[in-house]
Amino acid sequence: MIEEKQLGQLWKNLAFTKLFKAFKMAARPGKLVIGMVAIALACVIGQTMDVISASVITGTSISPNSRQVVTTTELQCYITEPETTDNFISMYFETGKRKGVFNTLWRFCAERFNMAFVPLLKFDESNIFANIRNAFDNIGQCIRAFIWAFSYHTVYSIVFFILVFPIVCISGGAICRCAALEFARGEKAGIVEALSFGAKRFKSFLAAPALSVLLLVTFCGMISLLGLAGNIRLFGEFAIGLLLPVALVFGVLAVLMAIGIVGGSGMMWPCVAYEGSSGFDAVSRSFMYVFTQPLWVLVYSFIATVYGTLSYLVVRFFTFLLLLVTYNLIEFGLFNGTGGEAKLARIWSHPSFFNLMGNTNATRASWTESVSSVIVNLWIIALIWLVVSFIISFYFCVNTVIYSILRSTVDGTEPEDVYLQLNEINSCDE
């Protein structure tokens, strides 16, 4: 018994075990509601902009294998054959149908996200490395999709980013604040208090990523200026040779900034939530932790990624099981002799783990079935919406825990030490 207690205490003392609290923290109703509201606002903005401007070119072709009509978007062309994207747009500019940027990007990234993580559930030891490589490849395609959006639909992307990023700052900051109070003091901040904190510290939440990106762009721009000077006849050649050491210095700064952003971006908002600090302090602290504890940043990030993947698969499986049980019980209650089973299939397509929505193109027998199908699909979308909200909540919660652990390691600050506002009220709304 004594040995079991000692082993249990040793396990609790290991810092990385604190990361496992992120699942329970992320599943709190308050954080999920904040995430769902943020997603809803982003979708409303995206759908509205798509109605105003449907600018994504699509083309159709006949599949040589199935002889079916295949629809391809310029995004898919950019991902598979980027050098032919301009030709694709020119070819179908007049005849191709148009889609919205938001819908195209959302569907593509959602599909790639599932393709990245769902195959990991098969636990095929012979293909485990292939599945991991596939996951990174699909995540890379999602990043390239955003590059496509800003490259080919620049104005749309900039406007959408300007409208949505403040929502992300306030909601992400609110979730980090909830996570910080819960992890530090065991308190559950109310939704209103958390959003109020996010709004009051909006400038800090906005300044932290903006400042780091601005510095990176500045350092890269200084190097590019040398390239511009190189275009000057005669003088340019000497300028490149003489000023190369200066360019290398800015290159070092740019590389360090890039490493700091990649490793520390997830800790910037938790820093504001924990310390109530400015954006500059959030950048400096997160970068300091990355460069003073690079090994532990990698270890914690790896554990968080693996644990987050497993958490997502568990939540997705639970959602699938919920839909499957409900579907089968409703089907059991319908009278097969009157075509009840076929009626349910027309109203609600059988869900699968890889496609929670099922086949939404089934033919309806009447307008009442069509209306019922729309209502059913809306409820399923709400469940999927909840799963996406959990992913967002988990990301901010686990990064808040990582920040707290590194702060304790580097600064010697106790996890219980968290900034409190004078008018902050402990709430149990969750």
Average pLDDT over residues 326-355: 74
What does the block give as tokens for 179? Answer: 């996570």
Q: Where are the alpha helices (DSSP H) in 186-201?
A: 191-200
Assigned domain for 169 exists: no
In a domain? residue 54: no
**What is the radius of gyration, based on Cα positions, of the chain?**
25
Kindly state whether residues 239 and 280 are assigned to the same domain. yes
- Give the span between the Cα atoms of 237 and 248, in whole angstroms: 17
Nearest of 381, 332, 330, 339 to residue 360 by alpha carbon? 381
User: 237-251, 260-274, 289-303: lowest mean pLDDT where?
Assistant: 237-251
How much is the pLDDT for 9? 45
In terms of Cα–Cα distance, which of 320, 329, 379 is closest to 352? 320
**Confidence band, pLDDT 50/70/90 cuts, at residue 357:** confident
Q: Are 308 and 403 contained in the same domain? A: yes
- Residue 150 forms part of a structural domain: no
Residues 377 and 335 in one domain: yes
Residues 283 and 347 in one domain: no
Mean pLDDT of 186-209: 89
- Closest to 103 (Cα-Cα) out of 138, 150, 53: 53
Domain boundary among 292, 326, 360: 292
Domain count, the chain: 2
Q: What is the pLDDT of residues 125-160, one digit of tens each?
A: 556 667 677 777 888 888 889 999 898 899 999 999
Distance CA 294, CA 251 (A): 20
Considering the domain boundaries, does residue 36 fall inside one? no
pLDDT at 365: 60
Q: Are 233 and 264 in contact (CB under 8 A)?
A: no
> pLDDT class for 110, splitting at 50, 70, 90?
confident
Range 392-419 average pLDDT: 88
Residue 368: inside a domain: yes
pTM here is: 0.84
Q: Report the Cα–Cα distance between both ends of the chain, in Å, rounded.
A: 37
Residue type, 216: L
Residues 6+ apart with CB under 8 A from 15: 405, 408, 409
- Kindly state whether residues 281 and 323 are assigned to the same domain: no
Exposure string (b/e) for 371-383, b if CB count within 10 Å is 16 or more?
Answer: ebbeebbeebeee
- pLDDT score of 11 more than 50: no
**Do residue 325 and residue 394 come from a single domain?**
yes
* 348 — pLDDT class (breaks 50, 70, 90): confident
On the CB side of 8, how many CA atoms lie within 13 Å of its CA? 5
Residue span of the structural domain in which 215 resides? 203-292
pLDDT at 124 over 60: no
